[in-house]
Chains A and B, each alone.
Chain A
């Protein structure tokens, strides 16, 4: 099932490349493939049994047995959620590209390849297998930014690629060391996430690091070294301050449809790594590094929120907003690693993280979709100070984007609130100071988002945009499910929390010693 899901967009991508002679054919084919992928992801969601912990739909095939490499896929609550998120974001992005005449067959094929990379990353359970997809997804993303971006695209794409690459190499080295440590004279080492989590929880991993790695370091130091190396990989991808500087450049230079993919789906790969790898495999190291980790999380929440206020480019503003929103995820994961602490609060924080993943994917993609439409209508104008009074000229556009903006600032009743509430509910008792500073992020989010509304939608109409066309019927229809989902998650978050509770309890048990 999962293999089929991953292969579908691969074949789809090749089909687009080979069969589609025209843009029109390419986009129909690509959207059809994305719809099929979403249907399959929903089917998996539907047949997933949320009350059992552990992996479901597992498949295991030996690949290179002598090196412990296997084809091992499966999903738990997190995996199911990520599949749905990826399929949803890709479909939204393709829908946004629908009327962008710059995006031809090659673009659509690359998006589908990227989707395959995402599916692979979110289902693979063997490190090498996972790492291949992790890196493979980077390649289409690089070309998407490099070839269809704005003026500074070359620089942004290179920075994006190299920066993530540096993180990935640190991650790879860390796992090679773990492999060496776990290998026996007559048996290969361990690359399997599930097994590694068990080893870590029973304490055998630390012992193995002490005995088998002759680095002249204590077991604790070795563990911390490997943890920070792996952390770097995910920190760059999630964009944890101070490893976030590629984000504003890449998000604003890429075409908005590509940015939807970057912020909606690819940034979630980093958070996924935190949850799938750091928390289960390095729980003790996370506990030891808790204070610096919390500082990083707080910095990721607060600093970009402040920086967003002084940006003059809508895309940069929302890029910083995106960093800020993922900061809440980092905070939630980190507090959950705290050794002493109520398990109820840890469960709340982790559930909040999962809700936030979904909700941010939805909101951020929607926001960049609106910007894509705006850019297409204004031929690239998107400075905050270059508009004014749009609410009178394009009322439907303004109203719908307003809903997305309020979802982004965490208005109850829309999708942003339940996740942020649960994260704070969990984080405050576990780390009161971190949570208390982080609320500044909530305040600044309100300030800069309302400033956007004030400058762009309110005030006297800027005569330049007096004839700006409002959303077409097709565009309105395309937004109906998106906006409906925002209300649905906001009013009935159980839709998601009900899928992940067993997984969350398993993680909580995993950090208990």
Chain B
């Protein structure tokens, strides 16, 4: 076993240590905190590259397991592993993470809690890398929860804003709902297979013997145990990856600083759910995968619809993320690990790029986030504009950009899915919508005249110290545009590692040899599909241009072009199809009721019973006291009085006067004599 496999644990632990150290730093030690974070992330990146090289050289899976804690005579084991799947994720997370760390130097430069920010970012990176290399569902779950914690901390980073505090709580609680399913699935898997190690030289829970046993067992409703466990684990993935209906937290999570949105809520953490499904893929039966595919397709379509009518630059991207995560799930459900993972990797780069670009725009516009109040920024921020355009084209699936290849592969797999064509159509319409809403956004932000309105919403991030003079937007510093350029290169070119002609990525993940062969384009249906999906993309772009680009948008207060056409639909979409309100009226209301009811039970039923007993006891006490006072005591007193009277009576007999005694004695003698005489005669 090579040194890199043995020391793979360093990759997550280094950033965690950096977080631990900078948690103890003073607020003023900004430079040290940032250097720790970036330095540890840099070393992790180098290590991840070596791990990647190792996986290239030797694609066979390598694991290191160890005992963690003991119960009775058994051990709970944890471990880490290196395989192509983990290697790819390691490189992606460390690289995107590193770029975003550097970008944050500029973006957060004026923030009071700069030190704390890098502490949380490092902790996040460490936990996320832990998820990636975990060879045990338990270890994965533990890191997964820490990832959830850092997400909570970073969404609520500007904790003084009530909206941020509420959004943070919402994110944690919503993902925890999914995690409860994951927890049950995990303990069930543990009970069924006797281990939570994924791979353990034949004894792991994802290896053949355990899988066969679980597929053979049948649980409720004729479902195989492995299906049930797979679906429970998918609950966790759905929570983290914002699948409908647990997607509600992700758009709200945009309350966090923009680098956080880029790193956590676009590129890496939300992809953890997809990664989890990819990791436990052997466990997912056909029925479980069908559920995954449908949920993914519905999410892809649903979120793309909502994104059409949002006005916050980050919220549009957030719904776009939800939609793209749906595509990834769809890819896993109808295709294979490679299909879903390819989109995960390309998406990580172009979505991080888009968010950082959005951050640059927000930064340059003095914390303005409403796209209606922007406009014409391409003149002020050329680098941001060009890189943003690259990201936008990649996201839309414009031919030859990264997203084109990965999204097409998903649609191709969905097209060939045996069970239903539904997911394919949902995905295809979603692609059109994606192109449409991104065009809308780009036209609003970068084209037309510069719009500033008096009615602009109150500045969102008061963190930037003294607010810049709101008049002139400016290009961001090099520390921010540098990462943008690097990411733009990836967003443009990364797709070429997984084209049908040269499916290097796919064969790397599946461990098969690959070759360059243009003839694979001749696979029946592939070219027509690519053409039709490109047509959809062009249709979306055109439609967007027709509505928003043809005539420049002059005033931010003007109603949206779509709103003029379809006010009803636009209104419903702008209100996010009332999903939040629906949950508020059902789940949350029910929980509130249950809490009030439980408290009422405590006060009046359980506590009432105790009070009743105590009242009865006290009542009995009063009764007893009454009896004592009036019957027992009273009787006693009366008895005493009688005795005393008797005593007085008797004492009067003993007056001490001899004459009296003699008189009585004489009388008694007389009586006695009379009695005796009487008796003799009788």
Partner-B contacts on A (CB < 8 A):
159, 162-163, 241-246, 248, 303-304, 306-307, 309-311, 342-345, 347-348, 350-352, 389, 391-392, 399, 406, 411-413, 417-418, 421-422, 424-426, 428-429, 435-436, 439-440, 442-444, 446-447, 450-451, 453-454, 457-461, 493-494, 497-498, 501, 504-505, 508
Given contacts A347-B74, A348-B71, contact A458 B596 (CB under 8 A): no
Given contacts A245-B607, A347-B71, A501-B72, contact A458 B159 (CB under 8 A): yes
| Stretch from B94-102, B181-189, B275-283, B530-538 contacting the other chain | B181-189
Complex Cα–Cα for A245 and B613 (A): 13
Can you list 5 A-B pairs, Cβ within 8 angstroms, ordered by A?
A: A245-B602, A350-B72, A428-B184, A454-B166, A459-B162
Which B155-170 residues sit within 8 Å CB-CB of chain A?
A: 156, 159-162, 164-166, 168-169
- Taking A310-B598, A411-B145, A421-B138 as known contacts, 6 extra A-B pairs with beta carbons closer than 8 A to each other, sorted by chain A number, are A344-B72, A344-B74, A344-B194, A435-B187, A446-B173, A505-B72
Shortest CB–CB separation between residue B225 and chain A, in angstroms? 12
Chain B residues with Cβ under 8 A from A461's Cβ?
Answer: 160
Select which of A244, A351, A392 is within 8 A of B71 by beta carbon: A351
Select which of A343, A440, A453 is within 8 A of B72 by beta carbon: A343
Partner-A contacts on B (CB < 8 A):
23, 67-74, 76, 138, 141-143, 145-146, 149, 152, 156, 159-162, 164-166, 168-169, 172-173, 176-177, 180, 183-184, 187-188, 190-191, 194, 591-592, 594-599, 601-602, 605-607, 609-610, 614
Chain B residues with Cβ under 8 A from A453's Cβ?
Answer: 165, 169
B188 touches A411 (CB 8 A): no
Complex Cα–Cα for A387 and B127 (A): 32
Complex Cα–Cα for A307 and B597 (A): 8
B165 touches A306 (CB 8 A): no
Chain B residues with Cβ under 8 A from A399's Cβ?
Answer: 23
Chain B residues with Cβ under 8 A from A159's Cβ?
Answer: 610, 614
Complex Cα–Cα for A439 and B67 (A): 26
Chain B residues with Cβ under 8 A from A494's Cβ?
Answer: 67-70
Chain A residues with Cβ under 8 A from B614's Cβ?
Answer: 159, 162
A446 touches B601 (CB 8 A): no
B172 touches A450 (CB 8 A): yes
Complex Cα–Cα for A250 and B164 (A): 36
Residue with the greatest number of chain B CB neighbours at <10 A, chosen from A347, A392, A411, A425 = A425
B contact face: mostly helix, strand, loop, or mixed: helix
Complex Cα–Cα for A241 and B607 (A): 11
Chain A residues with Cβ under 8 A from B602's Cβ?
Answer: 245, 248, 303, 307
Given contacts A310-B596, A429-B191, A442-B180, contact A413 B72 (CB under 8 A): no
Complex Cα–Cα for A439 and B161 (A): 31
A454 touches B191 (CB 8 A): no
A contact face: mostly helix, strand, loop, or mixed: helix
Tell me the nearest residue of chain B to A243, going by C-beta.
B606
Chain B residues with Cβ under 8 A from A418's Cβ?
Answer: 69
Chain B residues with Cβ under 8 A from A498's Cβ?
Answer: 69-70
Chain A residues with Cβ under 8 A from B168's Cβ?
Answer: 450, 454, 458
Shortest CB–CB separation between residue B76 and chain A, in angstroms? 8
A424 touches B183 (CB 8 A): yes
Chain B residues with Cβ under 8 A from A244's Cβ?
Answer: 606
Complex Cα–Cα for A444 and B173 (A): 9
Select which of A241, A344, A435, A447 is within 8 A of B184 by beta carbon: A435
Select which of A344, A389, A447, A504 is within 8 A of B591 by beta carbon: A447
A460 touches B160 (CB 8 A): yes
Chain A residues with Cβ under 8 A from B169's Cβ?
Answer: 450-451, 453-454
Tell me the nearest residue of chain B to A422, going by C-beta.
B71
Chain A residues with Cβ under 8 A from B67's Cβ?
Answer: 494
Given contacts A307-B599, A435-B187, A454-B165, contact A413 B146 (CB under 8 A): yes
A458 touches B71 (CB 8 A): no
Chain A residues with Cβ under 8 A from B194's Cβ?
Answer: 344
Shortest 9 CB-CB contacts between residues of A and residues of B: A347-B72, A412-B142, A458-B165, A351-B71, A429-B191, A306-B598, A242-B606, A458-B159, A245-B607
Chain B residues with Cβ under 8 A from A444's Cβ?
Answer: 591, 595
Residue with the greatest number of chain A CB neighbours at <10 A, chosen from B138, B156, B594 = B594
Given contacts A351-B71, A412-B145, A508-B72, contact A458 B173 (CB under 8 A): no
A497 touches B146 (CB 8 A): no
Shortest CB–CB separation between residue B427 and chain A, in angstroms? 33
Tell me the nearest residue of chain A to B613, going by C-beta.
A166
Complex Cα–Cα for A443 and B182 (A): 13
Chain B residues with Cβ under 8 A from A458's Cβ?
Answer: 156, 159-160, 162, 164-165, 168
Complex Cα–Cα for A493 and B78 (A): 13
Complex Cα–Cα for A270 and B190 (A): 30
Chain B residues with Cβ under 8 A from A163's Cβ?
Answer: 610
Tell me the nearest residue of chain B to A158, going by C-beta.
B614
Chain B residues with Cβ under 8 A from A245's Cβ?
Answer: 602, 606-607, 610
Shortest CB–CB separation between residue B142 and chain A, in angstroms? 3
Chain A residues with Cβ under 8 A from B184's Cβ?
Answer: 424, 428, 435-436, 439
Complex Cα–Cα for A418 and B76 (A): 10
Complex Cα–Cα for A425 and B173 (A): 22
Shortest CB–CB separation between residue A294 and chain B, in angstroms? 16
Chain A residues with Cβ under 8 A from B599's Cβ?
Answer: 306-307, 310-311
B595 touches A309 (CB 8 A): yes
B70 touches A501 (CB 8 A): yes
A411 touches B187 (CB 8 A): no
Chain B residues with Cβ under 8 A from A345's Cβ?
Answer: 191
Given contacts A425-B190, A428-B191, A459-B165, contact A493 B68 (CB under 8 A): yes
A501 touches B609 (CB 8 A): no
Complex Cα–Cα for A421 and B156 (A): 27
Tell me the nearest residue of chain A to B164, going by C-beta.
A458
B71 touches A497 (CB 8 A): yes
Residue with the greatest number of chain A CB neighbours at <10 A, chosen from B76, B597, B609 = B76
Chain B residues with Cβ under 8 A from A424's Cβ?
Answer: 183-184, 187
Chain A residues with Cβ under 8 A from B596's Cβ?
Answer: 310
Complex Cα–Cα for A508 and B156 (A): 46
Chain A residues with Cβ under 8 A from B23's Cβ?
Answer: 399
Tell me the nearest residue of chain A to B123, going by C-beta.
A413
Select which of A246, A342, A426, A460 is within 8 A of B162 by beta carbon: A460
Select which of B72, B149, B165 is within 8 A of A406 by beta carbon: B149
Residue with the greatest number of chain B CB neighbours at <10 A, chosen from A344, A436, A458 = A458
B173 touches A447 (CB 8 A): yes
Select which of B73, B177, B180 is within 8 A of A501 by beta carbon: B73
Chain B residues with Cβ under 8 A from A501's Cβ?
Answer: 70-73
A411 touches B72 (CB 8 A): no
B595 touches A310 (CB 8 A): yes
Given contacts A245-B602, A459-B160, contact A347 B165 (CB under 8 A): no
Complex Cα–Cα for A436 and B220 (A): 15
Tell me the nearest residue of chain A to B20, going by C-beta.
A487
Tell me the nearest residue of chain A to B166, going by C-beta.
A454
B73 touches A347 (CB 8 A): yes
Chain B residues with Cβ under 8 A from A504's Cβ?
Answer: 71-72
Complex Cα–Cα for A208 and B8 (A): 62
Tell me the nearest residue of chain A to B127, going by C-beta.
A413
B598 touches A304 (CB 8 A): yes
Shortest CB–CB separation between residue B458 and chain A, in angstroms? 14
Shortest CB–CB separation between residue B174 and chain A, in angstroms? 10
Shortest CB–CB separation between residue B155 and chain A, in angstroms? 11
Shortest CB–CB separation between residue B527 and chain A, in angstroms? 49
B72 touches A439 (CB 8 A): no
Tell me the nearest residue of chain A to B142, going by C-beta.
A412
A242 touches B605 (CB 8 A): yes
Complex Cα–Cα for A504 and B177 (A): 32
Complex Cα–Cα for A159 and B609 (A): 13
Given contacts A303-B598, A412-B141, A504-B71, contact A446 B160 (CB under 8 A): no
Tell me the nearest residue of chain B to A351, going by C-beta.
B71
Complex Cα–Cα for A90 and B668 (A): 85
Chain A residues with Cβ under 8 A from B605's Cβ?
Answer: 242
Shortest CB–CB separation between residue A307 and chain B, in angstroms? 4
Chain B residues with Cβ under 8 A from A428's Cβ?
Answer: 184, 187-188, 191
